[in-house]
A and B are shown apart, each in its own frame.
Chain A
Amino acid sequence: MKRHLANSYLVLVFIILYAPILFLIVYSFSQGDTMTNYHGFTWRHYQTLFSDARMLAIVANTLLVALLSSLIATFIGTLGALSINRTTKRVTRESLLTLNNVLMVSPDVIIGASFLIFFTMLKIPLGFGSVLMSHIAFEIPIVVLMVLPRLREMSTSMLDAAQDLGATTRQLLSRVIIPFISPGIFAGFFMALTYSLDDFAVTFFVTGNGFSTLSVEIYSRARQGINLEINALSGVMFLFSLLLVGGYYWIQQASQKRKHRKREVVS
Chain B
Amino acid sequence: MTNRKTWLYFIPYGLWLALFVIAPVALIIYQSFFDLGHHFTVANYGTYFQSATYLKMTLNSVWYAFLITLFTVLISYPTAYFLHQLKHRQFWLLLVILPTWINILLKAYAFIGIFSQAGLANQFLTFIGIGPQQILFTNASFIFVATYIQIPFMILPIFNALDDLNPAFINASKDLGASAWQTFHRVIFPLTLPGVKAGVQAVFIPSLSLFMLTRLIGGNKVITLGTAIEEHFLTTMNWGMGSTIGVVLIVAMIIVMTLTGDQKPKGGTPR
Contacts and interface: CB of A to CB of B under 8 A. Distances in A.
B120 to A, nearest CB: 7
Contacts of A24: 106, 109-110, 113
A9 B85 CA distance: 13
A82 interface: yes
B148 A20 contact: yes
Contacts of A23: 110, 113-114, 120
A110 B152 CA distance: 23
B176 interface: no
B216 A116 contact: no
Given A20-B107, A86-B6, A244 B101 contact: yes
A264 B209 CA distance: 49
A198 B152 CA distance: 15
Contacts of A9: 78-79, 82
Interface in A104-120: 105-111, 113-118
Contacts of A197: 101, 103
B211 A172 contact: no
A182 interface: no
B209 A79 contact: no
B196 interface: no
B116 A226 contact: yes
B158 to A, nearest CB: 13
Given A24-B110, A77-B13, A99-B21, A201 B211 contact: yes
Interface in A27-42: 27, 34-37
B145 to A, nearest CB: 9
B205 to A, nearest CB: 6
A169 B233 CA distance: 48
B211 A114 contact: no
Contacts of A218: 103, 105-106, 109
Interface string A204-240: 1100000000110011001101100010011001100
Interface string A88-102: 000000001001101
B43 interface: no
Nearest to B9: A79
B111 interface: yes
Contacts of A102: 21, 25
Contacts of B116: 34-36, 226
A111 B205 CA distance: 13
A80 B13 contact: yes
A242 interface: yes
Given A21-B102, A218-B105, A118 B113 contact: no
A20 B114 contact: yes
A121 B27 contact: yes
Given A109-B249, A117-B24, A242-B98, A20 B111 contact: yes
A109 B250 contact: no
Given A107-B249, A108-B209, A226 B101 contact: no
Interface stretch (A11-19, A43-51, A53-61): A11-19
A241 interface: yes
B104 to A, nearest CB: 6
Interface string B1-32: 11001110110111011011111110110010
Contacts of A96: 17
Nearest to B224: A109
A105 B2 CA distance: 35
A13 B79 contact: yes
Nearest to B1: A169
Given A113-B28, A201-B226, A218-B109, 13 more contacts: A7-B82, A20-B114, A23-B114, A24-B106, A80-B10, A83-B13, A107-B206, A107-B209, A107-B249, A109-B211, A115-B20, A200-B103, A226-B112
13 contacts: A17-B148, A17-B152, A21-B107, A24-B110, A36-B123, A109-B249, A115-B24, A117-B28, A121-B27, A133-B20, A200-B104, A215-B105, A225-B112
